[in-house]
Amino acid sequence: MDLKNKLLLENKKNFNICVIGAGHVGLVVSAGLAKLGHKVVCVDNNRKKIVLLKRLSLTFFEPGLESLVREGVKRGRLYFSYNLAEGIKNSEVIFIAVGTPPKEDGSVDLTSIENVCRVIARNLNSYKVIIEKSTVPVHTGEKVKETISRYKKKKNVSFDVVSNPEFLREGSAVYDFFNPSRIVLGVESQRAERILRAIYKNLKTTLLVTDINTAELIKHACNSFLATKLSFINAISRICDLAGANVERVAEGMGLDPRIGRDFLKAGVGFGGFCLPKDIDAFIHLSEKLGYNFSLLKEVKKINQEQKSYFVEKIKECLWVLKDKRIAVFGLSFKPGTDDMRFSPSIDIIESLVKEKALLFLYDPQSIGEAKRVFSGLATKKIKFFKEPYSAVKGCDCLCLLTEWEEFNRLNFKKIKSLMRYSLIADGRNFLDKEKLEKLGFKYIGIGR
């Protein structure tokens, strides 16, 4: 019976898929797979989230996602549920897209992955392909297999595990789903490979098939390399400041070399988000466990941390004592196009400024709601939140820019200058037009610029 199921499954074009985790990755993957023609149930153990999703209300901002979700639901291809058991039983393919947060020591907390494996085991009623979408340390696939085998109730039912790391970027996640730079498949059986190829057949890109350990390692290697590039240019920015050179032009000169490339050579206050910081920590930890001291990555992390304090020091150099200085902070999410503030550099910078007893006036086009939650523990009298930028800068001594939202370049800086008490702009992303601002009478500080 199981063999018959397997053969039927291999010849299918569209699949019944269960995506576990309705977060930044899970929801995009669910809606994307539904658009590709599959029937998808997206399950999550956060009931509130599922109740909202059933009402077509998204819990985070991602361009283009809401309409994609609506379309999937309208076409009857996308459902939401908090019943994991039912979701698993009724599906042939299961994507695991739950969170893998960092522990205190930098290693990955795999509790959610393990929990999900046990639920899958209990409800494994027919052959299924189980896909790791979450970013996990190498050898997790082996643990997934071991755990499901150990706890499965029906001992004669088989399954395959696949590692299919996700490379989408928040802010352009929907675009990235349909236009992936590559699809990496870590497989242990040809059957699983054929099924995965069929699932993604309408996406035109390179498919790289490896073993599971290699696929898991590819994801960590990619994020670590990207983080290294960013810390490298940030280190160069410090030298530029010391030498009186311009890091923007240095990056341009480097990026024109095709062996180097332009991407991820943007100096600033450092990287954040739910991927790079935790994934380099995890890779450092994992390498150490395997017997390799990845000191390069430790330095990458250190440079990233220092970049934030360096920026605060630059503001202090200009404003001297920060106590009671009024500082407007524009841009709180870790990058533009998202309201995600997880590990955003803005958090450390704002905490440092609050420690110095500055008064802060925060504005972000999308993440003010999230910021109120993040900073609820801080001395709230020192922080005010604004829905529009011009009220935020009123009477301020400094405007500090931490995220390069496109709309910041369209602001009326003449008006801003007239509203500020002292017109210092601290551009933590080297994003604004320095010359134009200086012509308007602003004092401008960037990073290595």
Using CA atoms, how far residue 413 sits from 254, 318, 420, 433, in Å, is 32, 20, 10, 11
Torsion of CA 265, 267, 269, 271, to 10 degrees: 0
At residue 414, the 3 state secondary structure works out as helix
User: Minimum CB separation from ligand NAD for residue 448, in Å?
Assistant: 27
The SS3 of residue 262 is coil
Name the residue with tokens 């199981």: 2
From the list 32, 72, 99, 337, which residue makes contact with ligand NAD (rule: CB under 6 A)?
99
Asked if residue 196 lies in contact with residue 187, where contact means CB atoms within 8 angstroms, the answer is yes
Question: What six digits make up the tokens of 281?
Answer: 């920590």
Q: 72: exposed, middle or buried (C-beta count within 10 Å: 0-12, 13-18, 19+)?
A: buried
Closest distance between ligand NAD and the C-beta of residue 282, in Å? 9
Q: Give min distance, CB of 102 to ligand NAD, in A.
A: 10
Closest contact distance (angstroms) between CB of 341 and ligand NAD is 12
Q: Does 121 bind ligand NAD (CB under 6 A)?
A: no
Sheet containing 424-427: order of strands: 383-386, 359-363, 326-330, 398-401, 424-427, 443-445
CB 232 to ligand NAD: min, Å: 22
Nearer of residues 46 and 246 to ligand NAD, judged by Cβ: 46
Angstrom distance (rounded) from CA 388 to CA 343: 24
Location of structure tokens 């995965």: 196
* Count of helix runs (H) and strand runs (E) in the chain: 18, 14
For 51, other C-beta atoms within 10 Å of its C-beta total 12
Catalytic option among 275, 396, 398, 400: 275
CA separation (Å) from 57 to 27, 51, 69, 132, 245? 12, 9, 10, 26, 48
Q: Is 30 in the site for ligand NAD (CB under 6 A)?
A: no
Residue of the chain from 16, 45, 125, 126 that contacts ligand NAD (CB under 6 A): 45
- Cα separation, 144 vs 152, in Å, equals 12
Q: Is 380 helix (H, G, I), strand (E, B) or coil?
A: helix
Pick the stretch among 15-23, 348-356, 365-373, 421-429 that binds ligand NAD (CB under 6 A): 15-23
Work out how close the CB of 335 gets to ligand NAD at its nearest, in angstroms, rounded to a whole number. Answer: 10
Per-residue x/- track, 239-278, ligand NAD (CB under 6 A): -----------------------------------xx---
The answer to the question of residue 20 lying near ligand NAD (CB under 6 A) is: yes
- Does 135 contact ligand NAD by CB under 6 A? yes
Which residues sit opposite 445 in a β-bridge?
Answer: 426
Contact 445, 427 (CB under 8 A): yes
Q: Between 169 and 436, whose beta carbon lies closer to ligand NAD?
A: 169
Candidates 22, 218, 329, 362: give the one binding ligand NAD (CB under 6 A). Answer: 22
CA pair distance 173, 180, nearest whole angstrom: 10
Piece of 94-102, 255-263, 400-408, 436-444 that binds ligand NAD (CB under 6 A): 94-102
257: helix, strand or coil: coil
**Identity of the amino acid at 89:** K
Q: For the CB of residue 53, give the shortest distance to ligand NAD in the complex, in Å.
A: 10
Among 124, 168, 233, 360, binds ligand NAD (CB under 6 A): 168
Give the helix/strand (H/E) hosting 404: none
The least distance separating ligand NAD from the CB of residue 58, rounded to whole angstroms, comes to 11
Quick one: which of 100, 158, 231, 367 contacts ligand NAD (CB under 6 A)? Answer: 100
Q: Which of 18, 19, 23, 333 binds ligand NAD (CB under 6 A)?
A: 23
Among 24, 285, 308, 326, binds ligand NAD (CB under 6 A): 24
Selected from 92, 166, 193, 364, the binder of ligand NAD by CB under 6 A is: 166
172 is an interface residue for ligand NAD by CB under 6 A = no
Does the annotation count 275 as an active-site position?
A: yes
134 or 333: whose CB is closer to ligand NAD?
A: 134
Sheet with 128-132, edge to edge strand ranges:
78-81, 39-43, 16-20, 93-96, 128-132, 159-163, 183-186, 207-210
Nearer to ligand NAD, 21 or 331 (CB): 21
Given candidates 32, 44, 120, 141, which one binds ligand NAD under the rule CB under 6 A? 44
Binding residue for ligand NAD, selected from 98, 265, 276, 353, defined by CB under 6 A: 98
Nearest Cα to 92, choosing from 166, 25, 171, 162? 162
Q: Is 220 in the site for ligand NAD (CB under 6 A)?
A: no
Stretch of residues binding ligand NAD (CB under 6 A), selected from 111-119, 181-189, 392-400, 401-409: 111-119
Q: In angstroms, what is the minimal distance from the CB of 404 to ligand NAD?
A: 17
Q: Give the residues lining the site for ligand NAD (CB under 6 A).
A: 20-26, 44-46, 49, 84, 97-100, 112, 115-116, 134-135, 166, 168, 170, 274-275
Active-site residue numbers? 275
